[in-house]
A = this chain, B = another copy of it.
Amino acid sequence: MSENTTHTVIFQPGEIVCEGVPHGANLLRVALLEGVHINASCGGTGACGKCKVAIEGEFEGGRSAKLSESDYGAGLRLACRVEVMGDLAVTIPEESRIGDSAALTHERRPGPGRVLTPQDLENLVTGWSVDPVVKKFALKLDAPDAANNIDDLDRLKLGLKSEHGIDSPSVDFRAIRELPEALRQADWEVTATVVETFRGPKVIQVAAGDLTSQDYSIVLDIGTTSVYAQLLNLNRGETVAQASEYNGQISYGDDVISRIVHSQKPEGRKQLQQAVVGTISEVVEQVLRKAGVDRCQVSHMVAAGNTTMTHLLLDVNPKYIRIAPYVPAATFMPPVRASNLGIDVCEHVHLYTFPCVSSYVGGDIVSGIIGSGVFQTGKVTLYIDIGTNGEAVVGNSEWLVATSCSAGPAFEGGGISHGMRATRGAIEAVQIEPSTGEPHILTIGGKKPLGICGSGIIDAVAELLEAGILGQDGKFREEAAGKWLRRHEDGQWEYVLAVGEYTAGGQDIVITEPDIDNLMRAKGAIFAGVNTLLGSVGLEMDAVEQVYVAGGFGKYLQLDRAAAIGLFPEMDPERFTFVGNGSLLGARLVSFSKDMLQSATQVARMMTNIELSDNQQFMDEYMAALFFPHTDMRWFPRMEQILSKFS
């Protein structure tokens, strides 16, 4: 059965039907995402043994040391260890329910928004074919003799012209250095790598033999926090491997401002450049190893990053990005020899960086607009990328206006006491049983909880609000104190998400009021930014026909949870599409197609930019948004109703 097959899971009691469950999905995750309450304290490791269920249908796993032989014999399994392999009927016994009516009282929450499969994501944009800017051409040349002893380079050029119609290319002198041996090694059969520059073709490498069947590129999303890489097979138009790592610059500061500050210290810029190159080298190494592809088969690289990341990667001084009037050194950077940057690929490989729009609307956003297909649509589209910064773009194929809000890194786990990136062991989904205040959690990979990632903290705060444990002002309600909400010895209130017994570190994982405050300011900045952006073009949220949400956490994010904290208004979920890493999608397209590279240039040129700093409307909107979900509840009717019982 292929990875794209889906199944139907029916939970009892309550006859809650979940359709479209991916083959191999974790059963506890299916329940949590659907809002079906099952006890789970350990994050899905099988350590607490609380999520026992009876299952009919095809599945795998379900055992752990915590499941007694008699329970197993009675047909019970641990939901957190079960993989769905076919349609299932699942009965939640009373002991696993939260209260005795958990499933029965399940209220159908708004749908999750469109979460696209990798296949869907790669098909968001149409009308292009694989035709990269850097291409390999095989040539079979005549050997020289006394009657025809023109130099090797002219012979190569004549071959390119007659066999491939490539006229008067320029030739990098590094390609000339070994030309004589390259031509003669395989009896005058060679492969020339030719790049289409905006001023005509340029030969950047010549190697012996026909190497056209092995042609790859590497695309990168250079985030402030993380670097993502994909290895692409340029012949087959396929993604063959991916990898990601924390951006090594993190040790010099969490956000772009602190990085720019560091870059102005002696050796600072060099340190930052080397740090990100170190990370790139790691992910490059990983994708090559995973796919078993030789480093020499990589023909080019494409990187999308915000304006500061782009500057620092190329070792361009970013100083004035952070000083009014916020002027970058350049928004359009020329392609750069990757080895000159210190990246361990062949000398001829050039790195293309996405053009930026302004100091705070960078190439990652341009890339996202390309990758998500916004640049092709007639519909008024809102594109939101939530990373360490939050950026928003509104427009369509005709016009595009962008802005950037200093959201801070809360959505990537930054500035949160137990925050972490969305990697294995991160609590990514949280449910809180309203009657007891008990948390049920799921970690990425079903590992012992290490911390909490962006989607986890959103889930947690949304659930805390709905359970009446947290007030709309972001302060805990002391009357909810108990086993899970407690006062720390330093006097601060904290909510316990996972007890030390089940965590990887052996310490309780908690959420504090300062954590919640950081999240409030982050979501407030994004909500206010989007509203200011829409206002600048005379639109209200209603006029937005579709919303694309990008960001590393996108695919785990529950739309109703995001609306519950006020990150987005409550809208028809059908209008929302989660595109995941939009920057990487765009980088991928640009790597496959020179037409898309051209489109990226056009998008960057047509996109205009609204500065939010010193913008009074933004300041007003921001202040109004420092409340859960918002001081103006017009956009949040569902939450208004839920929260009304606490007021």
Contact = CB atoms under 8 A, between A and B. Distances in A.
Contact of A146 (B181, B314, B611): B611
Tallying the copies of this chain within the complex gives 2
B327 A152 contact: yes
Given A180-B319, A199-B200, A336-B173, A331 B149 contact: no
Nearest to A318: B180
Interface in A145-186: 145-146, 148-154, 170-173, 176-181, 184
A325 B170 contact: no
A329 interface: yes
B146 A330 contact: no
Contacts of A154: 330-332
Contacts of A324: 146
Given A149-B325, A153-B332, A331-B151, A316 B199 contact: no
A212 interface: no
A320 interface: yes
A330 B152 contact: yes
Q: How large is the interface on A (under 10, 10 to 19, 20 to 34, 35 or more residues)?
A: 35 or more
Interface string A603-635: 000000001001000000000000000000000
Contacts of A336: 173
Nearest to A307: B151
A344 interface: no
A348 to B, nearest CB: 14
A330 B199 contact: no
Contacts of A316: 173, 176-177, 179
A181 B331 contact: no
A358 interface: yes
Nearest to A184: B320
A263 to B, nearest CB: 11
Nearest to A333: B173
Given A181-B319, A319-B181, A149 B330 contact: no
Given A151-B328, A199-B200, A327-B150, A315 B170 contact: no
Given A180-B320, A181-B319, A317-B180, A152 B334 contact: no
A399 interface: no
Interface in A482-508: none
Contacts of A75: none
Nearest to A321: B180
A646 interface: no
Interface string A273-292: 00000000000000000000
A128 interface: no
B334 A172 contact: yes
B151 A330 contact: yes
Contacts of A181: 317, 319
Contact of A144 (B146, B149, B327): B327
B320 A176 contact: no
Given A152-B330, A173-B336, A317 B179 contact: yes
Contacts of A200: 199
Nearest to A177: B316
Interface in A346-369: 356, 358-359
B149 A326 contact: yes
Top 5 A-B residue pairs of the complex, sorted by shortest distance between their CB atoms: A153-B330, A149-B325, A199-B199, A151-B328, A151-B331
5 contacts: A149-B326, A149-B358, A149-B359, A151-B329, A177-B314
Interface of A: 144-146, 148-154, 170-173, 176-181, 184, 198-200, 314-317, 319-320, 324-334, 336, 356, 358-359, 611, 614
Given A179-B316, A179-B317, 6 more contacts: A146-B614, A148-B325, A149-B359, A151-B356, A170-B199, A180-B329
